[in-house]
């Protein structure tokens, strides 16, 4: 006879936190959101920790290099999507690792023979008024001067005027050596000489980077940024259970800090084989997460197979139709609670702590806080990040509203058959995801700041100053359908919806 779980499975929206005592120390500024990303032994430190408990989903519509840089600046990590060629994925990883915070490659390049008319057209296109003049007009050509909007007067000068007649020539520029100058040295020069931009050149006078005054403040805003020992941003990458023998070495060579097997269903022999191969061939130091699972058995299997973290969630993703097409899955909150219990048991038994990631189904910011309270060490978010400027998809305007595209890895658009692979044909037999729009929400930084401030505030209400303490102290209650209605505004007419007599 089939096994029946005793309880119904629930989603985050069916739970609430009951506040606990908050001392005078419980203020948001004192809250730490640091959390382990990979497994560690009792008494030891995990090799990788996050400064905020957020990761971006292994999806074409979410995690490219731009997203990875933006999220690492806030203290989280992206897993660059694996449903692309090995070369393209490795190139994205390498762009994140080579990104030097505050060091910008020139995107507005002109030559001495460029005309004022062309300068104005370029400025309108890029929005940047500072332009590097290189001999051949390339971003890394020999630097011969700089043009800013202070160098010309549109009303007095002919549009044919050549840049060489009004640029600030190289011999009058303050510049620095690209190989030896650090960001803080560059900033000192900027302040000392009252510059807006400092060009960094190599010994052949070729332009390498530009450092802007405004980026200095930007850097100061990112106190939690997640970097390695060489001050490079941390980045993860998704892998599959087919081409790992070629993909993994390419990703490691490109500098990936952590990998994750991307699969809709992780309780499978393919994951065990993949984990074993990677740890045997590339060493235990290569960190690999696995998943997804939704119960204690699945967790145990992946823990024993050597997973460095375990991802929880089947069918709860906003673009996911796995439950409808295949009838498998489990309410995300219940799945998480079950797996967390298994993690804690495993830790007690073995002294090995394997972090758990709650993946998918986060609709409101408070769902993230609930997931942490239920024991998740960190979250994986697709829809949340897809709405921001930094996601790789198109921003479109429909009926006066700005939207961004967002599609599932199991949709015909992504065709990520490896994610749904059960060892058969190399194709997606049927769709498990949809192609959709999400409301555009602006820059990642502003949104993440707001979400985290809500999270810190709730933690304070529960008397917790860090995630571990929060998990120990949290008191959660299931709510009835009627009290969910009570939770929103009710029995009032909202002013922005009230339109008088029309």
Non-local (6+) Cβ contacts of 53 within 8 A are 33, 35, 76, 368, 372, 376, 377, 378, 379, 467
* Shortest Cβ 407–ligand RVP spacing (Å): 7
Query: Whose Cβ is closer to ligand RVP: residue 96's or residue 319's?
Result: 319
DSSP string, 462-475: TT-SSHHHHHHH-E
Q: Rule CB under 6 A: say whether 178 interacts with ligand RVP.
A: no
* Shortest Cβ 313–ligand RVP spacing (Å): 6
Query: Whose Cβ is closer to ligand RVP: residue 308's or residue 432's?
Result: 432
Query: Whose Cβ is closer to ligand RVP: residue 94's or residue 318's?
Result: 318
Footprint of ligand RVP on 373-402 (CB under 6 A): 380-384
Q: Rule CB under 6 A: say whether 265 interacts with ligand RVP.
A: no
> Which SS3 state, helix, strand or coil, does residue 155 take?
coil
Asked if 260 is an active-site residue, the reply is no
Query: Whose Cβ is closer to ligand RVP: residue 215's or residue 359's?
Result: 359
* Shortest Cβ 361–ligand RVP spacing (Å): 5
Beta strands in 63-179, from DSSP E residues, in sequence order = 77-80, 109-110, 131-134, 143-147, 168-169, 176-177
Q: Give me the catalytic one of 330, 419, 456, 460.
A: 419
Query: Whose Cβ is closer to ligand RVP: residue 37's or residue 122's?
Result: 37
Look-up of token digits 């393209």: 88
Q: Residue 403 CB: number of other CB atoms within 10 A?
A: 18
Residue window 345-374: x/- pattern of binding to ligand RVP, with contact defined by CB under 6 A: --------------xxxx------------
Say whether 190 counts as a known binding-site residue: no
Footprint of ligand RVP on 57-76 (CB under 6 A): 57, 59
**Where does this chain touch ligand RVP (CB under 6 A) — which range of 115-123, 195-203, 314-322, 462-470?**
314-322
User: What's the 3-state SS for 188-214?
Assistant: HHHHHCCCCEEEEECCCCEEEEEEEHH
Give me the residues paired with residue 227 across strands.
233
Footprint of ligand RVP on 419-478 (CB under 6 A): 432-433
Q: Nearest-5° angle of CA 227, CA 285, CA 335?
A: 80
Q: Which tokens hold the place of 185?
A: 């040295």
Q: Give me the catalytic one of 26, 95, 272, 320.
A: 320
* Shortest Cβ 57–ligand RVP spacing (Å): 3
Say whether 424 counts as a known binding-site residue: no
Q: Rule CB under 6 A: say whether 109 interacts with ligand RVP.
A: no
Asked if 419 is an active-site residue, the reply is yes
Say whether 467 counts as a known binding-site residue: no
**Binder of ligand RVP out of 82, 141, 317, 392 (CB under 6 A):** 317
Say whether 317 counts as a known binding-site residue: yes
Q: Nearest-5° angle of CA 113, CA 114, CA 117?
A: 140
Cα-Cα-Cα-Cα torsion 469, 460, 77, 65, nearest 10 degrees, comes to 180
Exposure string for 376-399, b = 16+ CB within 10 A, e = fewer: bbbbbbbbbbbbbbbbbbeeeeee
Query: Whose Cβ is closer to ligand RVP: residue 359's or residue 421's?
Result: 359
The CA-to-CA distance between both ends of the chain, in Å, stands at 61
Element (H, E) at 325: helix 322-326
- Judged by the rule CB under 6 A, the positions of this chain that interact with ligand RVP are 57, 59, 313, 317-320, 322, 359-362, 380-384, 408-411, 432-433
Catalytic residues: 320, 419
Q: Which residues are annotated as a binding site for K(+)?
A: 315, 317, 320
Write out the binding residues for NAD(+): 262-264, 313-315
Q: Which residues are annotated as a binding site?
A: 262-264, 313-315, 317, 320
């Amino acid at each position: 006879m089939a096994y029946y779980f005793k309880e119904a499975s629930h989603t985050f929206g069916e739970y609430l936190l009951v506040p606990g005592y908050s001392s005078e120390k419980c203020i948001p500024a004192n809250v730490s959101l640091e959390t382990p990303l990979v497994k560690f032994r009792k008494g030891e430190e995990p090799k990788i920790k996050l400064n905020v408990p957020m990761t971006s989903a292994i999806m074409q519509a979410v995690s490219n290099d731009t997203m990875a840089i933006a999220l690492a600046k806030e203290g989280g990590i992206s897993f660059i999507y694996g449903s692309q060629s090995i070369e393209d994925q490795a190139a994205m990883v390498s762009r994140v690792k080579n990104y030097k915070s505050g060091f910008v490659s020139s995107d507005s390049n002109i030559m001495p023979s460029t005309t004022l008319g062309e300068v104005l057209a370029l400025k309108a296109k890029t929005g940047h008024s500072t332009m590097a003049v290189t001999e051949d007009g390339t971003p890394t050509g020999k630097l011969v001067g700089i043009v800013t909007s202070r160098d010309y007067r549109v009303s007095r000068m002919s549009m044919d005027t050549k840049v060489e007649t009004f640029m600030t020539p190289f011999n009058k520029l303050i510049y620095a050596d690209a190989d030896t100058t650090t960001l803080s040295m560059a900033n000192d020069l900027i302040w000392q000489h009252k510059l807006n931009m400092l060009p960094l050149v190599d010994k052949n006078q070729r332009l390498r980077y530009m450092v802007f005054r405004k980026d200095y403040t930007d850097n100061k805003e990112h106190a939690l940024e997640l970097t390695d020992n060489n001050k490079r941003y941390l980045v993860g990458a998704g892998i599959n259970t087919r081409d790992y023998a070629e993909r993994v070495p390419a990703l490691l060579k490109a500098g990936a800090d952590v990998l994750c097997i991307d699969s809709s269903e992780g309780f499978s022999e393919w994951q065990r084989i993949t984990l074993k191969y990677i740890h045997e061939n590339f060493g235990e130091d290569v960190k690999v997460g696995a998943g997804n699972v939704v119960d204690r058995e699945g967790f145990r299997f992946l823990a024993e197979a050597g997973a460095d973290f375990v991802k929880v969630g089947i069918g709860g993703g906003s673009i996911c139709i796995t439950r409808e097409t295949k009838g498998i899955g489990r309410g995300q909150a219940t799945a998480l609670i079950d797996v967390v219990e298994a993690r804690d048991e495993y830790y007690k038994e073995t002294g090995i702590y394997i972090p758990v990631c709650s993946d998918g189904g986060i609709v409101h910011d408070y769902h993230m806080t609930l997931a942490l309270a239920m024991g998740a060490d960190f979250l994986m978010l697709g829809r949340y990040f897809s709405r921001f400027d930094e996601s790789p998809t198109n921003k479109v305007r429909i009926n006066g509203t700005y939207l961004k595209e967002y599609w599932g890895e199991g949709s015909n658009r992504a065709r990520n058959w490896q994610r749904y692979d059960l060892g058969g044909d190399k194709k997606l037999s049927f769709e498990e995801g949809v192609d959709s729009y999400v409301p555009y929400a602006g820059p990642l930084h502003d949104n993440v700041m707001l979400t985290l401030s809500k999270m810190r505030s709730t933690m304070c209400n529960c008397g917790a100053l860090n995630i571990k303490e929060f998990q120990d102290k949290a008191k959660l209650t299931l709510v009835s359908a009627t009290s969910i209605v009570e939770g929103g505004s009710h029995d009032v007419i909202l002013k922005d919806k009230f339109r008088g007599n029309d």
